[in-house]
Structure 1
Amino acid sequence: MFDLFGFFNSKPSTKSIAKERLKLVLVHDRTNCSPELLELLKEDILNSISEHVDYDPQNMDIKITRTRDDESGKPVLVASIPIKNMKR
């Protein structure tokens, strides 16, 4: 069904947000990745890159999701970390 008014709305619907969150919970469950492990991974990644760049911690996103290229949906770690500037 086409939602004419939703077409111009740039915010995702609560339904799509909830669906995405559920997918992430399932992926985390299937990969045996606890929230604690994900936090450790984030810390390690940030410690590694902080030697070389200044980053924006407010707008970063690190998560485990699934590949879309095949039926198995292999787990992948996706990091979106805005870089403020490079260190020399």
Structure 2
Amino acid sequence: MDFMGFFTKKSSKDTAKERLQLILIHDRATVSPELLDNIKEEIMSVISKYVEIDKDELEITMTTSDEEEGNSPALVANIPIKKMLKRR
């Protein structure tokens, strides 16, 4: 996706397609929603030691990466940072 595409509103067709792709990826990667929630909680815990994050806007999804050998599962995290914390 290009940078300007980030600011355009998606059509319901595109949103539905994206959701279906995520469901298929989750099934192929055999990652349960509970496991993904656990991963999300642990990532938030570790990152929160160093930066203040917007936990409501945090998104962690499974997707596929394009490799020469075929598509393989990839973990994608969108973590909005509010501010850096002082090192202890």
> TM-score, normalising length from structure 1?
0.83
Q: What per-residue deviation string (whole Å, max 9, x for no partner) do you get for residues 15-39 of structure 1?
A: 1111110110011001110000000
Q: Which whole-Å CA distance do the structure 2 matches of 1:71 and 1:21 have between them?
A: 25
TM-score (norm 2): 0.83
Match for residue 13 of structure 2?
15
Following superposition, the deviation at residue 69 of structure 1 comes to 4.1
Does 2:55 align with 1:57?
yes
Task: Give the structure 1 partner of residue 36 of structure 2.
Answer: 38
Deviation for aligned residue 1:59: 1.9
Percent identical: 47
Q: How many residues align?
A: 79
Distance 2:68 2:56 in 1: 33
Ranges in structure 1 where 5+ consecutive residues have no aligned partner: 1-9
3-state SS of paired residue (1:73) = strand
Unaligned segments of structure 2, at least 5 residues: 1-7
4+ residue segments displaced more than 4 Å: none
Stretch of structure 1 that moved more, 33-42 or 63-72: 63-72
Let me know the Cα RMSD of the aligned residues: 1.3
Please state which structure has a larger fraction of its residues in strand: 2
> Structure 2 CA distance, aligned partners of 1:17 and 1:43?
25
